Chain A
Amino acid sequence: MNHVRCHVMVCAGTGCTSSESPKVLAAFEKEIKAHKLQDEVRIVKTGCFGLCSQGPIVMIFPEGACYSKVTELDVPEIVSEHIVKGRIVTRLLHMEGDEGKSATSLSDTQFYKHQLRIALRNCGVINPESIDEYLGADGYTALERILTEQTPPQEIIDCLKKSGLRGRGGAGFSTGLKWQFTHDAVSEDGVKYVCCNADEGDPGAFMDRSVLEGDPFSVIEAMTIAGYTIGSNQGYIYIRAEYPIAVKRLEIAIGQARKYGLLGKNILGSDFSFDIELRLGAGAFVCGEETALMTSIEGHRGEPRPRPPFPANKGLFGKPTLLNNVETYANITWILNNGWEKFAAIGTEKSKGTKVFALGGKITNTGLVEIPMGTTLRTIVEDIGGGCPNGKKFKAAQTGGPSGGCIPAELIDTPIDYDSLTAIGSMMGSGGLIVMDEDNCMVDIAKFFLEFCVDESCGKCAPCRIGTKRLYDLLCKITDGKGTLEDLDTIEELCYHLKSSALCALGQSAPNPVLSTLRYFRDEYVAHVVEKRCPAGVCRNLLRYEIDPGKCKGCTLCAKNCPVGAITGAVKAPHIIDQNKCIKCGLCQSNCRFDAITKR
């Protein structure tokens, strides 16, 4: 018997792997064997479905039932009930929101309804470790067509130009133009390179990682097409070593593509040859910057260099180089297969297509979403993300990580595209979207991102090496309650100089979180400086824990729990906190049974 009647899809992305999906996978294999069903049921390891907070996710077809938070203990029941008897195990179905409604089909959920998956089209649909499944999902049709028809490179470039695709790494440069420049560039010995930037480094971003884990072939096929178009025979994927699953799947994918003759010499019998090598980065944020990335591939210390010359003319090893981001490549074959008209019909006037966002922070549905450009932040946060957990109020969202800025609650109806985000002082970035609620202090957030940039600055140029550190010191002064109003002006001036004089995008964009929080939440800065108070109650040095003598029963519980012995008092008499000893850990407050301890 070779007809499979049932597919069990188990998510093997990083999110679900960390919630122990490999154990679930093993349990399915064991149970299916025990029921002697291995010939008619296929177990498929897939990429990310996006619902990372609900993992491990298991989908069973043909019913399309979506089970969430599956443990290995649930597997025998799913196999004996659903797979053997055809009865869906309703208790394990994915539930959405407060309505307690369970969805048998994912596409019905609020989470998926507003999404449009192009870059993620195969994530959760195919087995990323099987080239056969990629072929079955119309994979390699674009390359096959181009090579058999010998499509002129200019035609491919024109198609990309007209599609309006812009770089998904953050800067948003036209992909078609980039391909054009590299195509037009003259190389003396004819050598050109195709590179893929998979050095996703900002805190809270995991889009590129998920694409590579869920659909590595789409990137490989697009890079091969890029090689054909610009006239290159060698590609490099620069990926960080901290992404072990993505690295492993890329290695498997490259190996399978070579075996099938889709990488290597004379691809599909044509006279075009192309191969790809992986380069593992050691996890330096600056290596996401294009010139630093190429310097690192060459084997040098990852430091940026001034531009021009741009990589299109003088890039890797001094040769013309095409460098695109993972998500950009993931869009290419879709555009070539479906036509630029279809892609250009999605999105806003200047930002076409879709964008993948990694939703994180204070949001119910932490996970991976892909939305058409122009979708409002409200739709992403409230409808898809399910709002802030525990009924807290949405305060702001940070896009673009440490290079981006925050979008305050009053601008929640801003459509998400390159230009409107830049207009409000944020940026698209690579797609990390961190949600903050009323308990987040904006000065503290700015300090967090700046600290990241201080750590990650490569130190080559003085504005970034010294400037970010000084800026960080000034923010620390404010959160310590020692700031003055003049400091705020100094901060603004320093930001301006840093933006205009740093060598690369890391330094130029490092002040963005500070400037945008200062722009939208100046009152919070002023409260720290003038009133010596942190409105959100986050900055420790501005906090005071006090015991209300009227409410304190003298139970001594707080004194017993205080790690530094700052609380004194006799039994059955009101206690007192010694402010000089107190480290503001909050243990006394969480232990008090009489609600007698207040935080100010």
Chain B
Amino acid sequence: MKSLEELRAIREKMKRQMDLRGPNEDHIRVVVGMATCGIAAGARPVMAAFLDEVEKRGLKNVTVSQTGCIGVCRLEPIVEVFVPGEEKVTYVKMKPDMVPAIVEQHLVNHNVVTDYTIGAAE
């Protein structure tokens, strides 16, 4: 037997999870390079950190997905962020502890974290 509050909580939680199946043209896409080079450089904990952070903040309009080798293996782990209507931003040499800043500043407040981008690394 569930109380009304418990039912509503389940509904909200499931809704957030099932959003993934709806139309997503307007979503911000976070793409993590997960080829051999990316995984070897530590891309998996980075993606896990993104998934955690997105869940923690309950962000509805973000999809996290993976992709193959982007080509600059020496800068892996690489994460690209696509905000609809804006140019893509490439973050390089990512570590899990850099993720909260990107989520907060870039995904939520739309300010690119320039310190971590490919331009800063070069």
Residues in A119-149 with C-beta less than 8 Å from chain B: 125-126, 132-133, 135-141, 144, 148
Q: How large is the interface on B (under 10, 10 to 19, 20 to 34, 35 or more residues)?
A: 20 to 34
Interface assignment of A268: CB less than 8 Å from any CB of chain B: yes
Instruction: Kindly identify, within residues 7 to 46 of chain A, every residue whose CB is under 8 Å from any CB belonging to chain B.
Output: 7, 9, 40, 42
Total number of A residues with any Cβ neighbor in B under 8 Å: 36
Task: Verify A86–B14 contact, CB threshold 8 A.
Answer: no
Q: Which of B20-28, B81-89, B110-118 is found at the contact surface with chain A?
A: B20-28
Q: Mark A180-219, 1 if CB is under 8 A from B, else 0.
A: 0000000000000000000000000000000000000000
Give bound CA distance, A2 to B21, whole Å: 17
Interface residue? B11 (CB, 8 A) = yes
Q: Which residues of B contact A3 (CB under 8 A)?
A: 51-52, 54-55, 64
Within the assembled complex, what's the spacing in Å between the Cα atoms of A1 and B65? 15
Question: Within residues 1 to 53 of chain B, which ones have a CB less than 8 A from any CB in chain A?
Answer: 1-4, 7, 10-11, 13-15, 17-18, 20-21, 24, 27, 31, 34-35, 47-48, 51-52
Q: Which residues of A contact B51 (CB under 8 A)?
A: 1, 3-5, 40
B68 contacts chain A at the CB level, 8 A cutoff: yes
Q: In the bound complex, do residue B4 and residue A144 qualify as a contact, i.e. CB atoms below 8 Å apart? A: yes
Question: Which residue of the partner chain B has the closest CB to A42?
Answer: B17
Decide if B18 touches A137 in the complex (CB within 8 Å). Answer: yes
Contact assessment for B21 and A61 in the assembled complex, using a CB-CB cutoff below 8 Å: yes
Contacting residues, chain A, for B64 (C-beta < 8 A): 3, 5
Nearest CB in chain B to that of A258: its residue: B1
Q: Are A62 and B20 in contact (CB under 8 A)?
A: yes
CA of A261 to CA of B1 in the docked complex: distance in angstroms?
Answer: 4
Nearest-neighbour CB distance to chain A for B57, whole angstroms, equals: 10
Beta-carbon contact of A86 and B68 below 8 Å: yes
B63 beta carbon closer than 8 Å to chain A:
yes
> In the complex, what distance in Å separates the CA atom of A126 from the CA atom of B68?
30
CB-CB < 8 A to B66: which residues of A? 84-86
CB-CB nearest in chain A for B66: A86
A269 CB–B CB distance under 8 Å: yes
- Given A3-B51, A7-B20, A86-B31, output 12 extra A-B contacts at Cβ < 8 Å: A3-B52, A5-B63, A5-B64, A6-B20, A7-B21, A42-B17, A62-B27, A64-B24, A85-B67, A86-B34, A125-B21, A135-B11
Interface residues, chain B, with chain A CB atoms under 8 Å away = 1-4, 7, 10-11, 13-15, 17-18, 20-21, 24, 27, 31, 34-35, 47-48, 51-52, 54-55, 63-68
Chain A interface residues toward B at CB < 8 A = 1-7, 9, 40, 42, 61-64, 84-87, 125-126, 132-133, 135-141, 144, 148, 259-261, 268-269
